[in-house]
Structure 1
């Protein structure tokens, strides 16, 4: 199994989508991206991509 390491991404091209997050999760993400050029959205998109890849690997 190939495990890809999470990297804080740069800002991707996106479509607006509303989603609610628990406040503690928001705080953790904001702390993780503080001092980088990464946005909250870009971080979440990268995390979701990694989660989807993991699920695909689990299917194999």
Structure 2
């Protein structure tokens, strides 16, 4: 499965999270020129990780 960025608007809740500076820089570079916000990218990355964790857990 390939991670693809998409834009979407959903009901949200604010959370405060700290990122290593190097990670924020990598994310900013990855979304540069894309129609995606930093928050949207992080949400999609988390959803992708959760989806793959579930699939991997089912294989055991």
| Alignment-derived partner of residue 7 in structure 1 | 4
**Displacement, 1:19?**
0.5
The answer to whether 1:37 aligns with 2:44 is no
Q: How many residues align?
A: 57
Under a length normalisation based on structure 2, what TM-score does the superposition of the two structures give?
A: 0.85
Under a length normalisation based on structure 1, what TM-score does the superposition of the two structures give?
A: 0.85
Query: RMSD over aligned Cα, in angstroms?
Result: 1.1
- Indicate the SS of the match to 1:59: helix
Q: More relative contact order in 1 or in 2 (CA 8 Å, sep 6+)?
A: 1
Query: 1:16-31 residue pairs with structure 2 within 5 A?
Result: 16-31=14-29
* Structure 1 segments of 4+ aligned residues over 3 angstroms from their partners: none
Structure 1: how far apart are the matches of 2:38 and 2:30?
10
